[in-house]
């Protein structure tokens, strides 16, 4: 059913480079979110620079990971 929605007529193998890069960026983005959560929960004082850097980099990494996953499946 999902293949009919995506209009893929035959099985296509995703690009290994994009697939690997998407997984790497996804893991880095999740790691940065976990660091931000742990830092804000157990940190002594909230550093605004670390918070902004963590939010920006995690959102960029997660955005590119999502983008690469969608490209690799053909959407």
What does the domain layout of the chain look like in residue ranges? 16-73
pLDDT tens-digit series, residues 31-68: 888 888 888 777 766 677 877 888 888 888 888 888 88
Minimum mean pLDDT range among 7-11, 21-25, 40-44, 68-72 = 7-11
Structure tokens that stand for 5 in this block: 């929605």
Through-space distance between the first and last CA atoms of the chain, rounded to whole angstroms:
15
Structure tokens that stand for 45 in this block: 């004082």
- Statement: residue 7 has pLDDT above 70: no
Q: In a 3-state reduction of DSSP, which class is residue 1? A: coil
**Distances in whole angstroms, Cα of residue 69 to Cα of each of 14, 23, 25, 41:** 9, 8, 10, 31
- pTM for this predicted structure: 0.67
d(CA 45, CA 41): 10
């Amino acid at each position: 059913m999902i293949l009919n929605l995506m209009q893929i007529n035959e099985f296509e193998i995703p690009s290994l480079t994009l697939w690997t890069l998407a997984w790497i960026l996804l893991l880095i983005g999740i790691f940065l979110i976990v660091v931000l959560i742990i830092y804000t929960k157990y940190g002594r004082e909230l550093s605004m620079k670390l918070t902004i850097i963590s939010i920006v980099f995690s959102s960029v990494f997660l955005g590119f990971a999502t983008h690469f996953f969608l490209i690799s499946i053909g959407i």
